[in-house]
């Protein structure tokens, strides 16, 4: 890729990108700052989207408009799969919106009506590279599966069970599926990398506050190693 696009939603998630990238210039668009520069000898463009699906969608479209040929997301998520521990890595095989709900009209939960795809597959080559690097960097504490996104911070055992059992998600966050959908609309490859800050349960708010820094750091390590190889 000539230019790799990278998005994080919060300060913690882009902090290490800001620290390690040689920034050439910045562009202001849609109230967001897009940083263009060099990371690991590779041209990158990255931004902080802000939290939630609308921010992520707008950020992704602008990033593609500015020349990003693939899009990587780096950040934290709540674990749904009981095998996951805080700090573990999740690589998206696909992303879906768990809060898309048109069930009264007969559509399954998560399905976007009248659209071919609602569960957006990540690029297989980006997934494979992320898997190889996270195996090496995190010694097996890395899982690949469906990431569920919604404009909700999940903090209950019941909801975790529902999202895991009914929708098959292994982690939940608030941006991935929006980014994935915009990439699908533009035929641009993507992958979401997340490290677990919490288990989306009754302790999620406390764990999130404590572990977002550490988890963001884990996710960044994968992104940096990927960029060096792309
Ligand atoms: N990001 C990190 N933890 C989360 C949670 N529990 N719910 C939604 N987004 C998250």
pLDDT in tens, 21-61: 999 999 999 999 999 999 999 999 999 999 999 999 999 99
CATH of 4-229, one of 3.40.190.10, 3.90.550.10, 3.40.50.300, 3.40.50.1580: 3.40.50.1580
Is pTM, for the whole model, over 0.95? yes
**Kind and range of the H or E run holding 57:** helix 53-65
Look up residue 60 and give its two tokens: 């992704």
Residue 134 has pLDDT above 90, yes or no: yes
Nearest CA to ligand 1 atom 9: 173
- What's the number of CA atoms in the CB half-sphere (13 Å) around residue 30? 17
Q: Is 172 in the pocket of ligand 1 (CB under 6 A)?
A: yes
pLDDT at 9: 98
**Residue 61, Cβ density class (10 Å: 0-12 exposed, 13-18 middle, ≥19 buried):** middle
97 neighbors 177 (Cβ within 8 angstroms): yes
Q: Is 37 in the pocket of ligand 1 (CB under 6 A)?
A: no
> Given 12, 13, 88, 224, which residue is catalytic?
13
Residue 140 has pLDDT above 90, yes or no: no
Ligand 1 mean position, distance from CA 73 (Å): 15
Nearest CA to ligand 1 atom 1: 77
Residue 138 has pLDDT above 90, yes or no: yes
Q: What is the ipTM of this complex?
A: 0.99
Ligand 1 mean position, distance from CA 151 (Å): 10
Q: Is 196 in the pocket of ligand 1 (CB under 6 A)?
A: no
Tell me the pLDDT band of 122, cut-offs 50, 70 and 90.
Answer: very high
Q: Write the pLDDT tens digit of every residue in 74-113.
A: 999 999 999 999 999 999 999 999 999 999 999 999 999 9
Which residues, other chains included, contact 64 with Cβ-Cβ below 8 Å and sequence gap of 6+?
A: 5, 71, 182, 183, 186, 188
């Amino acid at each position: 890729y000539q230019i790799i696009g990278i998005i994080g939603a919060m300060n913690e998630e882009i902090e290490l990108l800001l620290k390690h990238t040689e920034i050439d210039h910045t562009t202001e668009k849609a109230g967001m700052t897009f940083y263009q520069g060099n990371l690991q000898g590779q041209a990158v463009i990255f931004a902080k989207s802000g939290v939630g699906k609308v921010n992520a969608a707008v950020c992704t479209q602008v990033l593609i408009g500015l020349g990003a040929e693939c899009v990587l997301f780096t950040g934290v998520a709540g674990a749904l799969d009981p095998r996951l521990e805080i700090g573990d890595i999740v690589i998206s095989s696909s992303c879906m919106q768990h809060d898309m709900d048109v069930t009264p009209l007969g559509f399954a939960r998560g399905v976007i009506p009248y659209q071919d795809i609602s569960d957006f597959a990540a690029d297989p080559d980006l997934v494979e590279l992320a898997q190889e690097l996270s195996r090496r960097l995190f010694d097996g504490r890395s899982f690949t599966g469906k990431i569920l996104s919604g404009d909700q911070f999940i903090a209950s055992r019941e909801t975790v069970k529902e999202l895991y059992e009914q929708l098959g998600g292994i982690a939940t966050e608030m941006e991935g599926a929006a980014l994935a959908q915009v990439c699908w609309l533009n035929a641009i490859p993507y992958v979401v990398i997340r490290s677990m800050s919490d288990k989306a349960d009754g302790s999620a708010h406390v764990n999130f506050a404590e572990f977002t820094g550490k988890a963001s750091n884990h996710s960044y390590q994968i992104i940096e190693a990927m960029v060096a190889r792309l």
